[in-house]
Structures are given as structure tokens and as C-alpha cells.
């Protein structure tokens, strides 16, 4: 089993954070992982993406040209990475910030109103956790409880954020699980 995902958005959305958390959860599950960040020179608002690979075998390369999944948090990310997604792959679209659907008919698409759900939970900055949860629910790449452990570790110094992020992750997971896809 090998799963890979490109998570993309703009700086400040927590893209690198959720990619790193997914990689750590994979490591906690005893899997081979790689996490490759890429971002523009801007602190906030610039482009930002990361590639995460989780596998039962050693990862040959962290560079994925034709990913199995893309999580697009904004329109420029969707436009950049959707064309490279392999046929039958998973495309998660943050419909709170992206007003169009997929331009392809050979993909499994999950529409995730990540910002809307995070705002309903009381903190718009938790949109990244909603999106991560949707990816986990749609793929089962790692167990939800492993990611919850990583959330507890990551936010140990900010206990007020732990429950919020776990709830955002769970809400996204429910949404993704309703659109479960077979391994691409």
C-alpha cells in the first residue's frame, strides 16, 4: 500500500502543519513516510504546498508527479494540481474558497466547505483540520485516533486549541467518510 497526497493552498492556512501531522501519524502507525514542503517567499498569502507519502515499503522518492490525491484549499492550487492528478484519483475541494468544481470527469471529488465548518465551530483557522479530516475519512490512510494523538502532542502547549482541532478533524472525517474511495 502506498498513498500520496499533495496538500495545497496559500501561506497561513496551515497546509504544512496538516501535512506534517499526517506524516507523523503515519510514522506512529509504523509506516514509511515522506513529507516534502514547498512554499513561496511570502510569509502569508503566498503559495504553499506539501507532498506526503505513506507506504508499507520504503519511499523511493518524495517527489510525486501524478498524485493519487490532491487537497486544494484555494483556486490557484486547484488549477495547478488538478491536471496532474492520476485518473481515478481523489480531489478534495475547499468549496468555501473555490467556486467551481472539478474540470475532469475521471476523478473522485469530495467537496469540503472547510472554512464554513471551521467558522461554525468558532475558529476559522481550523479549516485545515476539517480538510485533513475529510482526506482521512475518504481514504483511511491512517487511523483517525493516530491523528488525534498527534493533535494532542502538537497543541500540548495550547490546550484550548486541542478540543477545537479534534472536533474540526472529526467533522471533516464524517464528510470524507460519506465519500469513501477505493485505493487509486
Any domain includes 184? no
Strands 2-10 and 69-72, bridge-based pairing: parallel
Instruction: Please report the pLDDT score of residue 54 as a whole number.
Output: 97
Any domain includes 182? no
Instruction: Please report the pLDDT score of residue 180 as a whole number.
Output: 84
Domain that includes residue 49, residue range: 2-177
As a residue count, the chain comes to: 184
- Give me the DSSP letters along the chain: -EEEEEEEEETTS-HHHHHHHHHHHHHHTT-EEEEEEEE-S-SSSSEEEEEEEEESS--S-S--SS-SEEEESSHHHHHHHGGGSPTT-EEEEETTT--S--S-SSSEEEEE-HHHHHHHTT-GGGHHHHHHHHHHHHH-SS-HHHHHHHHHHHTTT-HHHHHHHHHHHHHHHHHHHTT-----
Residue for cell digits 492528478?
85
Mean pLDDT, residues 50-72 taken together: 93
Q: Please give the tally of structural domains in the chain.
A: 1
For residue 44 the three cell numbers come to 502569508
CATH number assigned to the domain comprising residue 58: 3.40.920.10
CB 6 within 8 A of CB 48: no
Any domain includes 94? yes
Q: How far apart are CA 94 and CA 85, in angstroms?
A: 16
Instruction: Please report the pLDDT score of residue 52 as a whole number.
Output: 97
User: Would the pLDDT of 44 be above 70?
Assistant: no
User: Would the pLDDT of 43 be above 70?
Assistant: no
pTM: 0.94
Q: How far apart are CA 92 and CA 44, in angstroms?
A: 22
Mean pLDDT estimate for the chain? 93
Any domain includes 154? yes
Q: How far apart are CA 63 and CA 36, in angstroms?
A: 8
**pLDDT tens digits, one per residue of 74-115:** 999 999 999 999 999 999 999 999 999 999 999 999 999 999
Amino acid at each position: 500500500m502506498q498513498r500520496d497526497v499533495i496538500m495545497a493552498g496559500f501561506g497561513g492556512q496551515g497546509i504544512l502543519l496538516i501535512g506534517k501531522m499526517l506524516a507523523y501519524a503515519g510514522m506512529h502507525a509504523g509506516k514509511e513516510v515522506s513529507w516534502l514542503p514547498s512554499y513561496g517567499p511570502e510569509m502569508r498569502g503566498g503559495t504553499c504546498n506539501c507532498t506526503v507519502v505513506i507506504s508499507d515499503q520504503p519511499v523511493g522518492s518524495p517527489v510525486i508527479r501524478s498524485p493519487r490525491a490532491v487537497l486544494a484549499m484555494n483556486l490557484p492550487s486547484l488549477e495547478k494540481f488538478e491536471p496532474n492528478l492520476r485518473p481515478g484519483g481523489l480531489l478534495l475541494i475547499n468549496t468555501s474558497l473555490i467556486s467551481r468544481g472539478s474540470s475532469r470527469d475521471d476523478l473522485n471529488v469530495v467537496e469540503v466547505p472547510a472554512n464554513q465548518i471551521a467558522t461554525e465551530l468558532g475558529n476559522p483557522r481550523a479549516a485545515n483540520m476539517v480538510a485533513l479530516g475529510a482526506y482521512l475519512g475518504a481514504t483511511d490512510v491512517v487511523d483517525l485516533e493516530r491523528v488525534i494523538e498527534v493533535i494532542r502532542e502538537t497543541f500540548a502547549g495550547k490546550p484550548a486549541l486541542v478540543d477545537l482541532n479534534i472536533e474540526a478533524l472529526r467533522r471533516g472525517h464524517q464528510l470524507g467518510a460519506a465519500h469513501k474511495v477505493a485505493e487509486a
